[in-house]
Chains A and B, each alone.
Chain A
Amino acid sequence: MSRKPKYSSNLHSRQQSTGGRPLIVLCLISVLLLTFYMREGDGGLVHSLRSAAMTITSPVRELGSIAASPFNALGNAASNASASSETLEELREENKRLTAQVAELTEAQHTAERLEELNNLQTEYKLVSTPARVIGSAGNAWSSSVIIDKGSKDGFEVGMPVCNSGGVIGQIVEVSATTSTVRLITDEQSSVSAMVQISRAQGMLAGQADGTLRLQYVVADSEVEVDDIIVTSGLGGVFPKGLPLGTVSSVDRSANDVYYTIVVRPFSLAENNEEVLVITSIDDSQVANDEDVASANKNPQGTSAADAKSSSDDDSDSVDDGSNG
Chain B
Amino acid sequence: MALELQKTGRNNRSLIITSIIAAFLQVALAPQLSILGGSINFMLALTATIAIGCDSRTMVYVGFFAGLFFDLTSLVPIGLMTLLLTLLGYVAASISRGIAPGFSMDALRIVCAGVLIVEVLYSVLLFFMGVQTSFFVSLGHGLSGALLTILVCAVFLFVSGAGSSSNTFGRGGVSSGGMRFKGSR
Contact = CB atoms under 8 A, between A and B. Distances in A.
Given A27-B87, A64-B28, A65-B32, A19 B60 contact: yes
Nearest to B97: A18
Contacts of B28: 60-61, 63-64, 67
Interface string A42-82: 00001001100110010011011101100110000000000
A33 B32 contact: no
A5 B4 CA distance: 13
Interface string B110-148: 000000000000000000010000000000000000000
Given A49-B72, A57-B27, A23 B86 contact: yes
A8 interface: yes
Interface size range on B against A: 35 or more
Interface stretch (A9-17, A261-269, A303-311): A9-17
B149 interface: no
B5 to A, nearest CB: 6
Interface centre among A5, A32, A57 (most CB of B within 10 A): A57
Interface string B35-78: 00000000000000000000111111101100111011100011
B32 A64 contact: yes
B31 A64 contact: yes
Nearest to B81: A30
B7 to A, nearest CB: 11
B24 A14 contact: no
B16 interface: no
A7 interface: yes
Interface in B58-110: 58-61, 63-64, 67-69, 71-73, 77-80, 82-83, 86-87, 90, 93-94
Contacts of B4: 11
Nearest to A18: B56
A100 interface: no
Contact of B79 (A33, A61, A63): A33
Contacts of A5: 1
A6 B139 CA distance: 52
A311 to B, nearest CB: 71
A2 to B, nearest CB: 16
B56 A19 contact: yes
B57 A26 contact: no
Contact of B86 (A27, A36, A49, A50): A27
A27 to B, nearest CB: 6
A29 B60 CA distance: 12
A38 interface: yes
B179 interface: no
Given A18-B57, A26-B61, A34 B174 contact: no
A22 interface: yes
A26 B79 contact: no
Contacts of A36: 79
Contact of B29 (A15, A49, A53, A68): A68
B173 interface: yes
Contacts of B1: 5, 7-8, 11
Contacts of A68: 29, 32-33
Nearest to B29: A64
Interface string A69-102: 0011000000000000000000000000000000
A7 B61 CA distance: 23
B82 to A, nearest CB: 4
Nearest to B33: A68
Contact of B55 (A19, A23, A63, A64): A19
Contact of B72 (A11, A50, A65): A50
B73 A15 contact: no
A26 B63 CA distance: 10
B60 A64 contact: no
Given A8-B1, A14-B57, A33-B82, 19 more contacts: A7-B5, A11-B173, A15-B55, A15-B173, A15-B174, A19-B57, A19-B59, A22-B60, A22-B61, A34-B79, A37-B77, A46-B79, A53-B69, A53-B73, A61-B28, A61-B31, A67-B32, A68-B32, A71-B32
The 10 lowest CB-CB distance pairs between A and B, nearest first, are A64-B28, A34-B79, A19-B57, A33-B79, A30-B83, A68-B32, A53-B72, A30-B82, A19-B56, A26-B64
12 contacts: A15-B173, A19-B59, A19-B90, A23-B87, A23-B90, A30-B83, A34-B79, A34-B80, A34-B82, A34-B83, A37-B79, A50-B71
